Amino acid sequence: MLAAILSVSALSALFGLLLGFAAIRFRVEGDPIADQIDAVLPQTQCGQCGYPGCRPYAEAIAAGEADINRCVPGGEQVIQSLADLLGVDPKPLDTSLGEHEPEPQVAVIHEQWCIGCTLCIQACPVDAIVGAAKQVHTVIEAECTGCKLCVPACPVDCIEMVPLRKDIDAWTWPYPTPTAYLPPPARADLLPDEETA
């Protein structure tokens, strides 16, 4: 009887150690679907989708609590990528949240009108605006995601959205215009001679 109790205790201790090792070794951090969705989103952290950032929106999509058509900065391209990833039909962008701008934009503060109220700094989700109270503010163009949240926050309307300047780092080779493939014309000297055939 004692041998049976000891053997069952030893087996349960061994299985407990194996399960503990497996739980640590094969642990999955976070939600892998939410990670994949978050990788597709543009990471503007603008909050136009109704969530405080791209990661909470990705988690809501993964949980089935949000639809895939709420990302205004991503537009139709992000909606199509999310639909392909999740295996669902794409939907048109929810225009009640805003209009998608096909060309990237950045905020520009007209410094001669800025009163230094810091409301734009508080509205910026990515800290792209620098300045201090009662001092002129400016936008760090490389950090601005074009979310437009600073525009309505400004009481003197000194912030304007302008197209992102293209430089050598952002330049891409233009796509060629699509044309139908036409085979090369047949050469008479390569055709078989009908008289000798």
Q: Which domains does the chain have, with CATH numbers?
A: 32-97 (1.10.15.40), 105-163 (3.30.70.20)
Going by pLDDT thresholds of 50, 70 and 90, the confidence category of residue 26 is confident
Over residues 118-137, the pLDDT tens digits come to 999 999 888 999 999 999 99
| 162 Rama sector, left if φ>0, alpha if ψ -120 to 50, beta otherwise | beta
State how far the alpha carbon of 153 is from the alpha carbons of 81, 148, 157, 169, in Å.
32, 9, 9, 31
Both tokens assigned to 97 = 């949240």
Going by pLDDT thresholds of 50, 70 and 90, the confidence category of residue 47 is confident
Cα distance from N-terminal residue to C-terminal residue, the chain: 101
Range 134-149 average pLDDT: 89
Check: CB of residue 79 under 8 Å from CB of residue 50: no
pTM above 0.85, yes or no: no
Say what the pLDDT of residue 179 is: 61
The Cα 147–Cα 46 span in angstroms is: 5
Say what the pLDDT of residue 147 is: 84
pLDDT(80) > 80: yes
Average pLDDT, the chain: 84
